[in-house]
Structure 1
Amino acid sequence: MAPSAQPDDAKSSLPSNPDHLKFKRQIEIEGPNSTAKDPHYLPTWNPTQKYPPLEPFEYVERGKDADPSFKDLLLEGSTLEDITPSMGSEIHGVQLSKLTNAGKDQLALLVAQRKVVAFRDQDFTELPIKQALDFGGYFGRHHIHPTSGSPEGYPEMHIVHRGPHDTTFDTLFENRLTSTSWHSDVSNEKQPPGITFLYALETPKVGGDTGFANLAEAYNRLSPAIKERLHGLEAVHSGFEQAEGSRKKGGVVRREPVASVHPLVRTHPATGEKALFVNTGFTRNIVGLKKEESDALLKFLLDHISNGGDFQARVSWKPRTVVVWDNRVTSHTALLDWSSAASRRHLARITPQAEQPYETPYVK
């Protein structure tokens, strides 16, 4: 099965210019009348940025030995409210940039447990970009996205951007019924991301939410017979289609794409939870199965994830919001439901890589 990646939070908008050799800056595309509130965060596409293949690195799981009382994270006066019973929380009264290392470790554990946590009234947009990156670097090596735009001089920062009057996605619904496209970020890498940070610079007044699915609960819902059958199976996750799509749009490919083989069911190192690890953006086929068999099983699993409204959460964006999720046990989708005529949606993502996905034995 080879679903193609669709416009979503894994990409920033590209100018439709076939000249891929030109250094593109969003601020220049918009011209002197740009209304961007944070122009230094606007994306650039630099064709001279070329990076070698990623090398393995030793990942440290920050949440594994964290204090489960969260006393260094949920400080006095802070509030935590769950978005749904199975996943998602919203926290007020905690300033992420001020956390101690103990607080950061507890953050990693809380996010692994709740899957996605929204922090309001954060100061990330007021920090120098390097300082924001330094914060995220505590949780793993920064992933440099091979095809996305980034602030000039900071290739580690992934920018999600759709500006006023941007018509890039206006033709989406000519051939599709929905913008929904569930994915786990760059799961084609040997060591895909773990704890991930996305923060809002500008957002529509209403719309542009992000949906999240709990892949651990998706696994739990399966019958014992299906769970047992999935264990031991592996799937190919490919980034080649994403790279080719960028080239066709005149975009950059900063690192040559790779494909990796990962287990269909992975284990989280901090919680021990098992979770499905397949997604429409990057999962192509199941190793060892014939095409018809692979297509049918992948369709069943992907439909199960996308249709599972009772193990999903929807997070709304407001300026100064930082949303933190665990990419290992969630899938997410952007929701393109607002008009670009008058609203800018501008987000910045910090994407620390985690461990190579692994599977522990099935236990009845």
Structure 2
Amino acid sequence: MSVTAITTAEKIILDASQQDEALSDRNTHATRVAGKGADPEKKALFASVTKRIDYTPKFGTELHGIRLSELTEQQSEELAALIAERGVVFFRDQEDLDLAEHVKLGKRWGPLHVHPLIPHNQANPEVIVLDSRYQPPARYNTNNSWHSDVSFEPAPSSFSILTFDEIPESGGDTAWSNGYALYDGLSEPIKKFLEGLTATHSSDNFKVLQALTGRKTFGKLNDTEHPVIRTNPVTGWKSVFVNAVFTREINNVSQAESKWILEYLHDLVSKRLDYQVRFRWAKHSVAIWDNRSTFHTGVPDFKPFFRRGLRVTVSGEIPFFDPNSGTQAQAWEAEANAIIAKQEAAAKAKAEALEKASATTA
């Protein structure tokens, strides 16, 4: 592999033969749940927000006025909680989020994951490099396969933080799908059925790539069992937790049944537009998402242009399912009712004002 096209002077490690083969052996799980104890109103965080844009009522938010490199510890905790609730949060104009600040931000929420195969920065192996020039490009940043980052790990990612230092002139968006909404949209019998199942998540695609190329890895290519329905430890909401890239099979059912279940769920992830948001990248934009309750995919529509990004992935908790946990739909019902009540009150006040004005002019 050639690195001549890399747009920074920092050396990029492409293959474990160039460095330590056991880097990802340092991967571990979070020792605390970032955001779980945050202020529900997030007063410290929103005190710095000058503009908030919710992409849909339940999913995806863009915040303006926040400098990610200047977050206080309280703001950091509240941001972690907001990301868990909204799925993905976007920021613009983060020029001062350099490599060191990128790493520092991720470490606020837990230990950083070292990917076993994807190229990384030499000084900071936790920073992976997503460059569409790498071969084969379908495995680095240009695939249209919905997934949750490194779900094959025993303690998969909680959060991922991504920014691009090179963006195409057009195309190259990233899309996210809401795992909470996917669960909430299922019928009650299907929910109960899936809640009793586990699935095997594997790094099979990386194993195939390794066999084809002869590349050495930076650590273990794991296979791990996780619950099909997962409880997010921050929100306490249920989410579907299987994905098209890393979930090999549903356990304890036939191969045909496993295939049917996975294809049905993957189809909902990719085709239900009401579950999705899409982000148009700009220089110095940042996206942070919760891998426990979302799926994402790059959109490979930007040839002949290139894009190059840097990502840190925060290792989270061992996935679990709590049958007594709640749902986003339940939490949203109270908020939606409050919005409706506010709209009705405003409409009533407007009608009364018009009636009063008519009486005065009569």
Band of TM-score, shorter chain: 0.7 to 0.9
1:346 aligned to 2:317?
A: no
Q: Is the 8 A contact 2:87 2:294 kept in 1?
A: yes
Q: Is the 8 A contact 1:191 1:353 kept in 2?
A: yes
Task: Write out per-residue CA displacement over residues 189-208 of structure 1, whole angstroms, 9 at most, x where no aligned residue.
Answer: 00000121001211012210
Q: What is the TM-score when the length of structure 1 is the normalising length? A: 0.82
Q: Is the 8 A contact 1:45 1:150 kept in 2?
A: no
Q: How many residues align?
A: 323
Q: What is the TM-score when the length of structure 2 is the normalising length? A: 0.83
Q: Is the 8 A contact 2:61 2:86 kept in 1?
A: yes
Q: Distance in 2 between matches of 1:43 and 1:182?
A: 26
Letter in 2 for 1:183: H
Equivalences for residues 1-364 of structure 1 within 5 A: 15=1, 26=3, 29-30=4-5, 36=7, 38-40=8-10, 44-47=14-17, 48-51=19-22, 53=25, 56-76=28-48, 78-125=50-97, 127=98, 129-163=99-133, 168-169=136-137, 179-340=143-304, 343-361=305-323
Deviation at 1:78, TM superposition (A): 1.7
Letter in 1 for 2:75: G
Task: Write out per-residue CA displacement over residues 27-57 of structure 1, whole angstroms, 9 at most, x where no aligned residue.
Answer: xx33xxx7x2x34275643423211645654
Task: Write out per-residue CA displacement over residues 94-152 of structure 1, whole angstroms, 9 at most, x where no aligned residue.
Answer: 10110001000001011011101111011355x3x334212211111110000011122
Partner SS for 1:293: helix
Deviation at 1:223, TM superposition (A): 0.5
**CA distance 1:197–1:224, change in 2 (3 Å):** same
Partner SS for 2:77: helix
Q: Distance in 2 between matches of 1:361 and 1:286?
A: 19
Letter in 2 for 1:67: D
Q: Is the 8 A contact 2:157 2:316 kept in 1?
A: yes
Q: Distance in 2 between matches of 1:323 and 1:57?
A: 22
Q: Is the 8 A contact 1:97 1:123 kept in 2?
A: no
Q: Partner residue of 2:359?
A: none
Gaps of 5+ in 1: 1-14, 16-24, 173-177
**CA distance 1:312–1:43, change in 2 (3 Å):** farther
**CA distance 1:41–1:318, change in 2 (3 Å):** farther
Q: Is the 8 A contact 1:150 1:156 kept in 2?
A: yes
Deviation at 1:58, TM superposition (A): 4.6
Q: Is the 8 A contact 2:16 2:217 kept in 1?
A: no
Q: Distance in 1 between matches of 2:274 and 2:296?
A: 14
Q: Is the 8 A contact 1:243 1:253 kept in 2?
A: no
Q: Which structure has greater helix proportion? A: 2
Q: Distance in 2 between matches of 1:222 and 1:279?
A: 16
Letter in 2 for 1:68: P
Partner SS for 1:107: helix
Q: Which stretch of the first structure deviates more once superposed, 299-308 or 323-332?
A: 299-308
Q: Distance in 2 between matches of 1:84 and 1:69?
A: 19
Q: Is the 8 A contact 1:247 1:253 kept in 2?
A: no
Q: Is the 8 A contact 2:69 2:96 kept in 1?
A: yes
Letter in 2 for 1:326: D
Q: Distance in 1 between matches of 2:83 and 2:324?
A: 24
Q: Is the 8 A contact 1:208 1:345 kept in 2?
A: yes
Q: Is the 8 A contact 2:35 2:234 kept in 1?
A: yes
Deviation at 1:93, TM superposition (A): 1.1
Partner SS for 1:200: strand
